[in-house]
Amino acid sequence: METADFEYIRDLCHQRAAIVLDLEKSYLIESRLQPLARTEGLGTIADLVAKMRTTGYGTLHGKVIEAMTTNETSFFRDLQPFEALKKVILPELIARRSLSRQLRIWCAACSTGQEPYTIAMLIEENFPQLAAWDVKILATDLSTQVLERARSGRFNQIEVNRGLPSPLVVKYFQRNGMQWELCERVRNKVEFRQLNLIDAWPAINTMDIVFIRNVLIYFDVQTKKDILGKVRNKLRCDGYLFLGGAESTFSLDDSFVRTEVEKASIYRLKGYDDPVLPTRAVKAASVRA
Ligand SMILES: C[S@@+](CC[C@H](N)C(=O)[O-])C[C@H]1O[C@@H](n2cnc3c(N)ncnc32)[C@H](O)[C@@H]1O
């Protein structure tokens, strides 16, 4: 690929999605954009870039950015965060929100939906009392393509095999040809919306739990700081933030404190001290990030 074409794609992805692509990633650009060039009726990546250069930002630019996102995900990814949710965090929140009976959970950068659907199934399986509560799971992503797949609730055999215990497959999925379809009851628990994390977030409510996992790793330091600053404003003072295993707030935002719950790292807002229900399990293992 010509250097000028590489630089065009790199700058586009950085300016519009904050995704950092360095020269070692040029192989990734080639492998992901060549098929797109073909489906757009263009022979090469050079033709694709030439076409984008001649028009203002539009659908084609959006497709290129989407093609450059990494959408790797799975059900119950890393397991421990979901153990923490089941054994400590949801029971605590249920006790604390017993008057309002309202819970707000947000999966930012949800990819094809396995993460928010994992949470929805976990709630369905373990917290039947929440059926009478106002519980909303919001799931957002930059990519309209992954959101379309997520909304469909259809997964192939490999996706189902990755992380989903078979009793849950039997209970919540139905086979349809080569696909497994998630039942409507669980699908309806999740609202999917398109959201670019580097844009403003006016329509996001204050959340009890935020999952923003395995996406900050693609951003530069300033973007990580900006996003964590915005998360801080959207998290309730006693809320919980989950990051990916290779991510942390360390040296990015000191308003968060890392704590360990069921071997999962969880971030809480510094200075939070629950006057009603001391969070013993959390505090016992509290570690400063
Ligand atoms: C590796 S997946 C993570 C999926 C899930 N959170 C998990 O941990 O399994 C990263 C997702 O981040 C999304 N993404 C990348 N840049 C984004 C941005 N600027 N705003 C919102 N989502 C973005 C991608 O489309 C992709 O689906």
Exposure of 73 by Cβ count < 10 A (0-12 exposed, 13-18 middle, 19+ buried)? Answer: buried
Q: Among 10, 32, 97, 213, which one carries the catalytic annotation?
A: 32
- Per-residue pLDDT tens listing for the chain (289 residues): 889 999 999 999 999 999 999 888 888 899 999 999 999 999 899 999 999 999 989 999 999 999 999 999 999 999 999 999 999 999 999 999 999 999 999 999 999 999 999 999 999 999 999 999 999 999 999 999 999 999 999 999 999 999 999 999 999 999 999 999 999 999 999 999 999 999 999 889 999 999 999 999 999 999 999 999 999 999 999 999 999 999 999 999 999 999 999 999 999 999 876 554 444 444 444 444 4
Task: Give the pair of three-digit tokens for residue 278.
Answer: 């001391």
80-284 under CATH 3.40.50.150, yes or no: yes
Is the beta carbon of 77 within 6 A of some atom in ligand 1?
yes
Q: Which atom of ligand 1 is nearest to the CA of 146?
A: 27
Which 8-state DSSP code applies to residue 84? H
Domain boundaries, the chain: 3-67, 80-284
Active site (annotated) includes residue 104 = no
**Strands 235-243, 190-194: parallel, antiparallel or unpaired by DSSP?**
unpaired
Q: How far is the CA of 116 from the centre of ligand 1 (A)?
A: 13
Q: Among 77, 104, 141, 253, which one carries the catalytic annotation?
A: 141
Is the beta carbon of 69 within 6 A of some atom in ligand 1?
yes
Architecture label for domain 3-67 = Orthogonal Bundle (1.10)
Active site (annotated) includes residue 220 = no
User: Cα–Cα distance between 146 and 67 in angstroms, integer?
Assistant: 10
